[in-house]
Chain A
């Protein structure tokens, strides 16, 4: 019996607004606990929420980009449940009239184009953070700085059928949200989170099986591991004639598996009802149109522009525009120093390799566009060689120092002085008379050995073109 997985996803993205969704508290990341809270987000009696216009418009912008039908009259509802990170004992969300419905997004799975449907896109508020001290103990600590931050929920249809589909979906969605400039999507800071709904059914069947909803996935890699685990777990049970229950499961990073939550905690009865503290929001066609015109340049347009404006090969432009932060990084470099192809080469090799192995976003890299552009300028001005450039790059990465400072401090400047190089060349020639003779006898390959000796003597600082030229002159003159 062959089974196929049916996967749907819920994405939660914290919006890139300066303030929370219903109050003026700052959303800056990493502040001291409970310093970005006020009567509204603490849920103190009598405090009233007022909707952040920018947050609401960001969700409309996203819903438009996801090809959704925009709801004319939207309402906010209360979702009631008890948890210490939810001070009001209800979350303001949207249940009966979300901002957008029935959209779709195109994903590319190993070269094959597929469509994933969107059930809805809506706006709600984030909860606070619970800390469970490692030392054990019977207490949890609660920080409410995050409580009330604008959170956009994007609910897909169960249109994915493999871990690869799910990965392509997560990457495409993250990319789009970054291009739309509605969220920075930093998963390591919890600003983009995914939940997976997964069930198995016999191939060819239409009816959906009992699904597991999996929470606590803090990275795309974790989501993938979890999907692979669930496909195997559910297939094993079904193949052995077992039955699956609809349930909520948690990913356990330590033991690398999912575990069911207690049934009592699953008894969900959210008693949604319209929040009387907030009024309806009507999205008129003119307003929608205005927001549509504010959608920033998306990937395809940027790619075409990178080819036209900077004369980059399509291959380069495609990589540079693969994510919005990377494209921005490139354009900032270009502002400091005009050499698109060289900047592109350094980004595609050194920068991307380091970002990947550090799981870092371009704008968190200690090598800022200013650093990189300044270094490439030094190469173009022949202050350093490209080879030294690589050393400077790794030095910038660890120390964050500017390249001119690094070069000055460690004496890496390229030797351009012909007299200085001549002296070294003569010294190497006199120490390697045998090799020189063999070159004169026609063994051209031995040249490389001499060049290597000279570069070593100058610790790579001699200008290679000058070395070659001077060496040739000296050998044939003698």
Chain B
């Protein structure tokens, strides 16, 4: 099976999705690295999995639940302790602009 190669544009797209700011000269090395990772995993293609049904999980466990009974939450000062910025017990973040 021939392997689809990762292009520099794929790297730019993945960087955008991951919110990573890559300099233009970083694109070629990352393209090479990601391609070599993909080639390594391509080894799995050598296995015959035609008789194995797809799974979503590595362990054979199912129907794990908790009952709908309230448990104590964190005290608010602990909840916001790691926030870089706080205002009136809210997390303060740069404004998100949604519209044009």
Contacts and interface: CB of A to CB of B under 8 A. Distances in A.
B76 interface: yes
A32 B70 contact: no
B56 A52 contact: no
Interface size on A, as a range, is 35 or more
A420 interface: no
A51 interface: yes
B73 A18 contact: no
Contacts of B73: 25-26, 35-38
B63 interface: yes
A38 B74 CA distance: 5
Nearest to B90: A141
B92 A139 contact: yes
B49 interface: no
A132 B95 contact: yes
B92 A141 contact: yes
Nearest to A269: B17
A280 interface: yes
B100 A18 contact: no
B76 A279 contact: no
A55 B65 CA distance: 10
Contact of A280 (B62, B65, B87): B62
Contacts of B19: 82
A265 B96 CA distance: 11
B89 A34 contact: yes
A308 interface: no
Contacts, number: 137
Interface string A1-27: 000000000000000011100011110
Nearest to A129: B90
A34 B90 CA distance: 7
A260 interface: yes
A261 B71 CA distance: 40
Interface in A336-387: none
A274 interface: yes
A404 interface: no
A252 B69 CA distance: 39
Contact of B94 (A18, A75, A140): A140
A235 B43 CA distance: 54
B64 interface: yes
Given A279-B63, A280-B57, A24 B71 contact: yes
Contacts of B59: 279
A33 B70 contact: no
B67 to A, nearest CB: 6
Interface string B57-88: 11101111111111111101001100001011
Given A34-B80, A37-B79, A274-B56, A23 B71 contact: yes
Contact of B88 (A141, A252, A280, A282): A141
Interface string A217-250: 0000000000000000000000000000000001
Given A37-B74, A142-B90, A274-B56, A53 B79 contact: no
A83 interface: yes
Contacts of A39: 74
Contacts of A131: 90
19 contacts: A24-B70, A33-B89, A34-B79, A35-B79, A37-B74, A42-B74, A56-B65, A80-B17, A137-B95, A139-B87, A140-B94, A140-B95, A250-B99, A262-B100, A279-B61, A279-B63, A280-B62, A281-B63, A282-B63
Interface of B: 13, 16-17, 19, 56-59, 61-74, 76, 79-80, 85, 87-96, 98-100
Given A142-B93, A267-B16, A280-B57, 13 more contacts: A25-B73, A26-B73, A33-B88, A34-B76, A34-B90, A51-B65, A140-B93, A141-B90, A141-B92, A143-B91, A279-B62, A282-B62, A282-B63
